Amino acid sequence: MHYKNPPEFPKDFMWGASSAAWQVEGATDIDGRTPAIIDLNSQKKKPFADNSVASDHYHHYKEDVALMAECGFSSYRFSLSWSRIIPKSDGVVNQKGIEFYNNLINELVKNGITPIVTLYHYDMPVWVDEELGGWLSREIVDAFDHYCRVCFENFGDRVKYWLSINEQNMQIVYGSWLGVSKGTNDWDREKWKINHIMNLCHAKAVIGCHELVEGGKIGPVPGIVPFYPETCRPEDQIATQNAEEFTEKLWNDFYVYRDYSPFLKRYWIENDIDPDIRPGDMELCERARIDFFALNCYRSNVAKHSPIESSHQEIKLNKDGVKGNFVYPNYPGVFEQTGNPYVETTDWDWEIDPIAMRYMLRYMWNHYRLPMMITENGYGAHESLSEDGQLHDPERINFLRDQIYQVGLAIQDGCDVISYNLWSFTDLLSTGNGMAKRYGLVFVNRTDDDLKDLRRVKKDSFYWYSNLIKSKGKEF
């Protein structure tokens, strides 16, 4: 639908940005924090930097929050480090970790910024992996429940928006790349046991929040990449539905309906898969009624029919930022992914498709009728300071302008969207590309191999976003 007037955002709409503890904090071995698996993985990704310093938010949080306030933020989505709060298997709380997050939360609240807190963002403690068996073991469920309850008890008086597990669907879909497949012998089969254990952890978080946080609301954080069919050929449409199911819809249906879909149950039967659902599990999940969806959306994908006799091809992500190095996956008889000639791409072959944002919000609203917030959406690029010491990023401004406009159109379409939090506020460690791939509104003066002075420099996009916020979404 085309509207005569530009979109208007609700008066209480929250504007902000997002980060994750392991990508921004640094300080990985001080004040009682113990290693996380992601620390060890980041150390293997040479020539990219590891996360031992990252953006050093741990020591710069006051400066960073002051910049958020200057920009006009009304929300900030960040994650807590499990191993900073519960550093050992004895379950003893690290008061230094509690103190850091209390200081950060207090600084946000003092500046009128609503904290939106993710409990788990890819950073399993090493002790959980080595002593409990990680995601392969059900022992993680009670340990995660303990951690969540410690967070609710210590921060729930000021934090009312909570997020359970970041991109659970992506951790299963890209299990090898994200390290979740560690210790498995047959990932395609065992991933469904891991996924079920993750669902039990998610349920524990939801139940704990509602029990312990007065007025608390909690939701999951799926990564959503909308799929379009390559053509109007009926086989391409079914392939697209398959792609939706196996990358996102299975998870979203579970969060809302608290049961596995008939589609997935049939898939398990057809492929002789046992997800190891035990007595009491589904009763626990039934109690975990979510309040909203937090959504991460950067791009779109295209699917087409995949003949059963075709060759299997795993996805190969572009890790160096040289266009054309992305390899599309093919799952014979299910779907094949392919390129979209109608949209531009970033240097990492990610589709630049603002309309996907509106499509995604309408899709989620039409299916689930729950409030939504955007918790990740952004533009990654190779960047360095210009000779005048500034960072001019018109491509990011154009990207954000088009994406946020589509959020506004989705609101006009009737979608209940309560917040937009772009990725990211400062430059931080990219999941696969270290400091080489920058997303921030604020430049952090360091490279992968040189810490320099970690100085914060406001990019042109900082000023643009600030103006948009202060105009209440009217001055694009």
| Secondary structure of 179-211 as H, E, C letters | CCCCCCCCHHHHHHHHHHHHHHHHHHHHHHHHH
Alpha carbon 207 to chain centroid, angstroms: 21
Neighbours of 285 (CB within 10 A): 23
Give the integer Cα–Cα distance in Å for 295 and 333: 29
Q: Residue 83 class from Cβ within 10 Å (0-12 exposed, 13-18 middle, 19+ buried)? A: buried
Residues 6+ apart with CB under 8 A from 118: 20, 77, 78, 79, 80, 163, 164, 166, 221, 375
Sheet of strand 75-79: strand arrangement: 217-221, 161-166, 114-120, 75-79, 14-18, 417-423, 372-376, 293-296
The strand pair at 335-338 and 330-331 is best described as: antiparallel
Helix (H, G, I), strand (E, B) or coil at 239: helix
**Is 167 one of the catalytic residues?**
yes
* Identified catalytic residue from 107, 190, 351, 376: 376
What the block records as the tokens of 362 is: 């309408």
Residue 302, φ and ψ in degrees, nearest 5: -125, 135
Residues 6+ apart with CB under 8 A from 131: 89
- How many CB atoms are located within 10 Å of the residue 4 CB? 4
Determine which one of 25, 107, 167, 230 is catalytic: 167
CA-closest candidate to residue 132, choices 118, 149, 146, 152: 146
> Is 214 considered catalytic here?
no
Residue of 204, 198, 101 lying closest to 151 (CA atoms): 101
Q: How far apart, in whole angstroms, are the C-alpha atoms of residue 180 and residue 175?
A: 5
Six-digit token string for 74: 């009304």
Catalytic machinery residues: 167, 376
